[in-house]
Homo-oligomer: A and B are copies of this chain.
Amino acid sequence: MPNPIDFRPVILAGGSGTRFWPRSRRARAKQVLALDGERTMIQQTVERLNPLGGLTKTLVITNELLAEAIGTQLSEVPTQQIIQEPAARNTAPACGLAAFLVERENPDAVLGVFPSDHVIGDEPRFLKTLEKAIALAAAGENIVVLGIAPTRPETGYGYIETGAALAGSEAVQVRRFTEKPDQQNAEKFVAAGNFYWNSGMFLWSARTLTHAIREHLPKTAPLLEKIAAAYGTPQFAETFRALYPQCENISIDYAVLEPRSAKGEDASHLYCFPAEFGWNDLGSWAALYEHKRDARSSADAEGNIFEASHLQTIDAQNNYVYSPKKFVALVGVKDLVVVDTGDALLVVDRAHSQDVGKLVKELGKNGHNELV
């Protein structure tokens, strides 16, 4: 049975993704890499939503550096729906622009905002959850966020504290959004049982979101409206380039969700839809290693995972090797990430893989622009 709701996937694909250096570069960010399987992250993201959205209804918001790669990878998405931001302005203006664009066609349409670089393990379950979340978002002025049941006291994510259950639904009311916690608080959150990871996946009608942008970003809203009005006209590129950089540089979480949650559980119309579909944001080489290990993809008996032409090990455990063209030998090492891209080689202890972003900043500072 087709979904009667006009669902519009909005894919946020502007991130630079330095944490997968040296595979990721400015013009080859994480979302356009095939980190997990044959298809790239953004291809998987768009295809996963296809049964509910449809490629012709998909909006992709990216930047000028990545637009070419994304256009090639998403050849079935109409070119004009791949929108190239003339400047990075974080997620609030991107989501807002999508809402103003869709509102002109159908204010009741439900926008689903999705990062372009996350892994979903159980796609049928994901679609089932999403279908219910879309229905909830279509009803009135609800804002729905997909929350991930936490499996560890992760300090790298924002958490959603939830309150009362919504009668007749799996959804729960959002009490508040918290920023990334310290270790002690993260442990408390996981123990409490009513905290979820903020997945960055949101659902709301075009009308609800444009209202929210007008309410919470009153200076930015009219700029986005003007850009949306120029869409499809010869003036679009010029208008976009002139006005978008004037928008506030702020995330949708800070701009809309947090102030909205401050209104109180009942008045905010903010709901969390608890989701368990094998989510992983692949935030680092360590996360990729763990995902592949848990998925038991190409791990040897000693926990080494290799995407390499040939590998030989002696007394080596729990390493991740990416080296599509070169023979790699590991001797007496464990918990390493080894990535060879032909022009650069990274060797990082897995526990330090969060520092790879820092490394890329250093490279830029030291004039190695060809490598960033």
Contacts and interface: CB of A to CB of B under 8 A. Distances in A.
A338 to B, nearest CB: 6
Contact of A310 (B330, B336, B359, B368): B368
Interface stretch (A10-18, A40-48, A167-175, A343-351): A343-351
Contacts of A327: 343-345, 368, 371
Contact of A22 (B329, B330, B366): B329
Among A331, A343, A368, chain B packs the most CB atoms within 10 A around the CB of A331
Contacts of A314: 352, 355, 358-359, 362
Given A331-B347, A336-B333, A349-B331, A366 B312 contact: yes
Interface string A299-336: 00000000000101011000000010011111111001
B343 A326 contact: yes
Contacts of A353: 331
Nearest to A311: B345
Contacts of A201: none
Contacts of A312: 359, 362-363, 366, 368
Nearest to A326: B345
B343 A331 contact: no
A332 B355 contact: yes
Contacts of A265: none
Nearest to A328: B345
A371 to B, nearest CB: 6
Contact of A345 (B323, B351, B356): B323
A25 to B, nearest CB: 12
A298 B289 CA distance: 34
Contacts of A248: none
Given A312-B363, A362-B314, A329 B355 contact: no
Number of copies: 2
Interface residues of A, number: 38
A340 interface: yes
Interface in A18-77: 21-22
A346 B332 CA distance: 11
Contact of A333 (B343, B348, B363): B348
B348 A332 contact: yes
A345 B346 contact: no
Nearest to A337: B331
A20 to B, nearest CB: 13
B349 A345 contact: no
Contacts of A22: 329
A338 B332 CA distance: 12
A78 B323 CA distance: 45
Contacts of A310: 368
- List 5 A-B pairs, minimum CB-CB distance, nearest first: A332-B352, A332-B349, A331-B348, A327-B344, A328-B345
Interface of A: 21-22, 310, 312, 314-315, 323, 326-333, 336, 338, 340, 342-349, 351-353, 355-356, 358-359, 362-363, 366, 368, 371
Given A327-B371, A328-B345, A333-B336, 16 more contacts: A312-B363, A312-B366, A312-B368, A328-B346, A329-B344, A329-B345, A329-B359, A330-B348, A331-B347, A331-B349, A331-B352, A331-B353, A331-B356, A332-B352, A333-B352, A338-B347
21 contacts: A22-B329, A312-B363, A312-B366, A315-B355, A323-B345, A326-B343, A326-B344, A327-B368, A328-B345, A328-B346, A329-B344, A329-B348, A329-B363, A330-B347, A331-B347, A331-B352, A331-B356, A332-B348, A332-B355, A336-B347, A345-B345
